[in-house]
Amino acid sequence: MELIKDIIKNRKLIWQLGKNDFKNRFASTSLGTIWGFLQPFIFMITYAIVFQFILKTGSSGEYPYAVWFFPGMTMWQWLNDSIMSASNSIRQYSYLVKKVVFPVNIIPIISIVASSFVGLFLVAIAVGICVVYGYIPNILTLIYVIFAFYCFVTAFTRFTSAVTTVVPDFSNLLGIAMQLFFWFTPVVWNLGMLAEHQTILKLMQCVPFTYLVTAFRQAFIGENIIFANHGLFTIVFWAITIILFIWGNAIFKRTKKDFADVL
């Protein structure tokens, strides 16, 4: 696979550019990269306060709201930031695209690496909060979900990064779509609310965003969507991810020759 070969061959370059990308996002501010960690953390705290104490939204059975909420919001924040930044990455790195010798394949991966600094920080925060409440995460499940996250985001952004490069307006459309996905994904609401609508519930559980958010949350509370219904949702997730990658990779290869012309 060409992409995997490029990642392995250029892993040091990806890591270095990923670090630089993250630093450059806040280079013009006095607090620098601290803002990268502070902004999403404050955002999560605000949502927790609003939904728990103002809207009085329940979580899931006997679990403390913080244990239910923070892991799910962490995964969503990481997904949203990675997808949006990677989708716009080729335009952001237009000066590299015009260099014939630079492997354009790895550019979205650079942005995914940059987003991982904040993502992994939020994971650490979620783990810390859950441990305080006495909920120890299943380490193997966490590792699996993070691996699944990287596979899905890579597959998804193969398509979105190519289309955004050729059609800039697609970035705005994607931003709207991610906002809709946020409300239709059980980040701030409980899947149990759909218990009376089993068909809709099962369809929702097959959506990759729902799968990742729910699986990451359940790593802390002992439930398990990964093996539910004989692993049905896991099979569907990986089938969608593989199809997305094959399709996105074909689109990426087909449009790559036009990148330099449109930038």
pTM of the model: 0.90
- The total of other beta-carbon atoms located within 10 Å of residue 106's CB is 22
How many CB atoms neighbour CB 93 within 10 A?
21
Q: What is the pLDDT of residues 22-67, one digit of tens each?
A: 877 766 665 666 777 777 778 788 877 777 667 666 555 678 888 8
Cα separation, 153 vs 82, whole angstroms: 7
Provide the pLDDT confidence category of residue 10 given band limits of 50, 70 and 90: confident
Identify the pLDDT of residue 73: 92
Instruction: Let me know the angle formed at the C-alpha of 200 by 196 and 195, rounded to the nearest 5 degrees.
Output: 25
Nearest Cα neighbor of 149 from 80, 196, 229 is: 80
Ramachandran area for residue 134 (φ above 0: left; ψ -120 to 50: alpha; else beta): left
204-260 pLDDT, tens digit per residue, is 889 999 999 999 999 998 778 888 877 899 999 999 999 999 999 999 989 988 787
Question: What is the separation of C-alpha 172 from the centre of its chain, rounded to a whole number of angstroms?
Answer: 18
CA 178/CA 91 separation, integer angstroms: 19
* Cα-based distances in Å from 10 to 101, 156, 190, 253: 12, 21, 42, 19
Domain boundary assignment for the chain: 2-262
Amino acid at 141: T
Whether the CA torsion 214, 219, 220, 223 is positive or negative: it is positive
Q: How far apart are CA 256 and CA 90, in angstroms?
A: 10
Burial pattern 197-213, b for ≥16 Cβ within 10 A else e, equals eeeebeebbbbbbbbbb
What integer pLDDT is reported at residue 47 of this predicted model? Answer: 77
pLDDT tens readout for residues 76-89 = 999 999 999 999 99
Whether the Cβ atoms of residue 73 and residue 47 lie closer than 8 Å to each other: yes
DSSP 241: H
- Collapsing DSSP states into helix, strand and coil, what is residue 189? coil
Arithmetic mean of pLDDT, 171-184:
94
192-195 LR contacts (CB < 8 Å, sep 24+): 192/60, 192/61
Which residue shows structure tokens 């059609």?
167
**Mean of pLDDT over the chain:** 87
